[in-house]
Amino acid sequence: MYNEKTNNFSIKSVIIQFLFVALFIFILIWLFPMKSDLKNALNGTNQDSNVSVFYDQIFNNNVIAMKEAAKSYFTTERLPQEVGHKVKMTLGEMLEKKIILPFVDSEGKQCDLVDSYVEITKYETEFVMKVNLKCTNQENYLLVYMGCYDYCQTAICEKNKSDISTPIVHPTNSTPQKQPEPQKQPEPQKQPEPEKQPEPEKQPEKEPEKEPEKQPEYVYEYVKKIDNSYWKESDWSEYSETPVQADKYTSVRTKITKQKVLIGYNVTTTTDKSKPVYSTKVLNTGTETILVCNKYDYVTTGETVAGTQWTYVGLETHYEKPSKDGYVYEFVRFVDESCSSNCSSTVGRIYKVWKKSTQNLSEYKCVDSSYQTIQHTTEVNYISGYEKTTTKTPVYETRELKTYSYKKREYITSIQEDKKWSTYNDTTLLKNGYEYTGNKKEKTK
C-alpha cells in the first residue's frame, strides 16, 4: 500500500528559519566590509571601525605566516653558529624558495620584498628571530624567542608562551605613519594622526588599558684583540763545516781560516834478507795399482731358515695322524669314507692346515770391483821470499777552511683581548677597533 507523507508548516518554524538567515547575513556583513567602509578607511574617517581592525588582522596574519615559514626553513644547520652572528632572508628570497605563498596588503599591493625580512641572531642561551614586514602604509616587526628546550619535538622550537609574554608586533620607528592618498578624491579635512600600536585582537568589551611594563636596559660587551706577537731568536751555534742555507727563519754567518789538511802518505818498502819466508809444495813420488770395490749389496747364500709367520693352507683329509715339519694340523671333524689305498684305519679325519714361513739367508758383499791406479805425493818446504818493512810518512797541505754558524728565530703568537661593557652602538669603541661579542647583561643602577 502507498502512503504519502504530509508536510506540516507552522508559524514557529518560519520564524526560526528567518532568524537563521538574518544571523547569516549579519555575520557576512561583519566579516567582509562594504565598499563605503573601505572608502572611508582610506580617507581617514573610519579608522576605529571594523574595517581598520580587519586590515590590522590581515597584516598580523601575514607576519605570522612569515614567522611560521621561517621556523620550518631554519633548521639547525642553517642557524648562526657563533654568539652574535646573524642570518637573514628577505621576503623575496622566501618567495623564490617557495616556502611561503604570495600575499598582498590592505590595498591589494605586494609588500616590500627587500625591507620585509626574517633575521635570526644567536645569543648565549637562545636565538631571537625578528620578523619585519613593510607594506604600503604599515611596517611592524615581531620578536620570536627560540631555543633547544625540553618540550621541543624538533632540534629547535619556539619558546613556550608560559615562559615569556606573547610576542607582539612592535613599530620600527616613532614617526607618524603616512596615510596613502586616495586616487581622484578630495583631500581629507582631518590631518593624519600618529600611528597607533596595533592591537593583537579585538575584544568584545574594551578593558582599561594597562601601563606598559618598563623594559630593562642592557649594556653590551665589546672586545678588541691586541696583537703582542713577536719574533724569538736563539743564540748563535758553534762553528761547523756543515753548510747552512739562510732563509726567513735562519740567519747565517761564516768564517774562513787556514788549516793544515792531510792529503796522503809517502810509502817506503825495504827487504830484510835475514828473515826468509817459507812455503810448502806437493811432489809426486810414484803410482800404485789396487783393486777397488765400486758397489756393495746383499746376495743370497742358498740356505733357508724357519720364519715367524704362519700361513693357512686349507682343509686336508687324513686316515692316519699327520705329522710334517713346518706344518700344524688342527682337527675339525670325522668323515665316513673308504680309504682308497692301504690304510690302518677306515675312519677319515679332516684337519685345518697351517704352514710356517721360511726365510732365505743372504750376506752383504762387494758385487762390483775394478783395478785403479793411485798417485803418491809428499809435501816439501822451500824459501819463497823475505820479510819486507813498510814506512808511511804523512803529507800535509795548507788550505782555507770555511765554517758556518747560525741562529734560528720563530714567530710567537700572542693575542690579548681587551673587553669592555658599554651601551649599544658605542661609536667611540667601534672606531677604536672594538667589536660586539654578542653578550649582553642588564644595566645595574
Give the DSSP per-residue string, 253-312.
EEEEEEEEEEEEEEEEEEEEEEEEEEEEEEEEEEEEEEEEEEEEEEEEEEEEEEEEEEEE
55 and 150 both lie in a single domain: yes
- For residues 288 and 357, membership in a common domain is answered with yes
Domain boundary among 381, 396, 411: 396
pLDDT band at 72 (very low <50, low <70, confident <90, very high): confident
Q: Give the pLDDT score at 45.
A: 46
Q: Give residue 132's pLDDT.
A: 96
Sign of CA dihedral 185, 189, 194, 199: negative
Q: What is the arithmetic mean of pLDDT over 260-272? A: 89
Residues facing 104 on adjacent strands: 110
At 416, list the grid cell.
Answer: 690579548
Residue 87 lies in a domain: yes
For β-strands 218-227 and 250-318, DSSP reports them as unpaired
Enter the C-alpha cell of residue 394.
Answer: 804523512
Percent of the chain with pLDDT over 70: 77
Q: Which three cell numbers stand for residue 208?
A: 582599561
| Whole-prediction pTM | 0.30
**11 versus 279: which is more confidently predicted?**
279
Residue 113's closest CA among 94, 98, 130, 129? Answer: 94
Nearest to 212 by CA among 165, 277, 175, 159: 165
Is the same domain home to 55 and 169?
yes
Kindly state whether residues 49 and 174 are assigned to the same domain: yes
Do the beta carbons of residue 332 and residue 350 sit within 8 Å? yes
User: Is residue 4, in this structure, part of any structural domain at all?
Assistant: no
DSSP H or E segment with residue 333 = strand 327-335
Strand partners, 219: 441
Task: State residue 253's pLDDT score.
Answer: 94
What's the confidence (pLDDT) of residue 260?
Answer: 86
Residues 404 and 392 in one domain: no
Average pLDDT over residues 245-263: 90
Distance CA(288)–CA(154), nearest Å, equals 113
End-to-end Cα spacing for the chain: 96
Please check whether residues 349 and 379 belong to one and the same domain: yes
Helical residues (DSSP H) of 34-123, grouped into ranges: 35-42, 50-73, 91-96
- Domain annotation covers residue 212: no
For residues 45 and 58, state if they share a domain.
yes
**Does residue 415 form part of some domain?**
yes
* pLDDT the model gives residue 103: 87
Number of Cβ within a 10 Å radius of residue 94: 21
- Within a domain: residue 38? yes
If asked whether residues 45 and 166 sit together in one domain, one would say: yes
Alpha carbon of 405 to those of 171, 252, 258: distances in Å? Answer: 74, 6, 17
Other C-beta atoms closer than 10 Å to the C-beta of 106 total 20
Angle at CA 174, nearest 5°, toward 170 and 177? 90
Let me know if residue 11 belongs to a domain. no
Answer yes or no: is 58 within a domain: yes
**366 shares a domain with 309:** yes
Residues 321 and 362 reside in one and the same domain:
yes
Q: Do residue 94 and residue 153 come from a single domain?
A: yes
Q: 302 lies in a domain? A: yes
pLDDT of residue 323: 83
Domain count, the chain: 3
In this structure, the dihedral spanned by the alpha carbons of residues 36, 40, 43 and 47, taken in order and rounded to 10 degrees, is -150
Question: Mean pLDDT throughout 68-90?
Answer: 90
Distance, in Å, from the CA atom of 344 to the CA atom of 342, rounded to the nearest integer, reads 7
Quote the CA–CA distance of 102 and 119 in Å, as a whole number.
19
Task: Quote the cell numbers at residue 253.
Answer: 754567518
For the ranges 34-43, 96-105, 152-161, 215-224, the lowest mean pLDDT is seen at 34-43
Angle 35-42/50-73 helices, nearest 10 degrees?
Answer: 80
**pLDDT confidence tier of residue 131, bands split at 50, 70 and 90:** very high
Expressed as residue numbers, the domain containing 376 is: 267-396
Percentage of residues in the chain having pLDDT higher than 90: 25
Say whether both 174 and 100 belong to one domain.
Answer: yes
Q: What is the mean pLDDT of the chain?
A: 79
